[in-house]
C-alpha cells in the first residue's frame, strides 16, 4: 500500500510544467513590481521635493 500511495503523489509532466510556469510568472511579476516601486520612489522624490 505504501508504494501505490507514493506513486500517486508524483506530479505528472503537465503539473510540473504548470508549477514551473507559475514560478516563472510570479518571479516576473515580483520583478516588475520591484522596478515600478523603485522608479516611483525616484521620480516621486524628484517631482515632489519641497521648494526652497
Return all residues near 15 (Cβ < 8 A) that are at least 6 apart.
none
| pLDDT attached to residue 14 | 96
Return all residues near 21 (Cβ < 8 A) that are at least 6 apart.
none
pLDDT above 60: residue 1 = no
Mean pLDDT of 38-43: 91
- In the chain, which ranges are continuous DSSP H helix? 2-8, 13-47
Question: pLDDT tens, 6-39?
Answer: 556 899 999 999 999 999 999 999 999 999 999 9
Mean pLDDT of 39-52: 80
| pLDDT attached to residue 3 | 57
The secondary structure of residue 7, as a DSSP letter, is H
Do the Cβ atoms of 11 and 19 come closer than 8 Å?
A: yes
Where exactly are the structural domains of the chain? 11-47
| pTM exceeding the 0.85 threshold for the entire prediction | no
Amino acid at each position: 500500500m505504501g508504494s501505490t500511495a507514493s506513486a500517486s503523489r508524483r506530479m505528472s509532466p503537465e503539473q510540473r510544467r504548470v508549477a514551473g510556469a507559475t514560478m516563472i510568472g510570479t518571479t516576473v511579476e515580483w520583478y516588475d513590481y520591484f522596478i515600478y516601486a523603485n522608479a516611483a520612489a525616484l521620480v516621486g522624490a524628484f517631482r515632489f521635493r519641497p521648494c526652497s
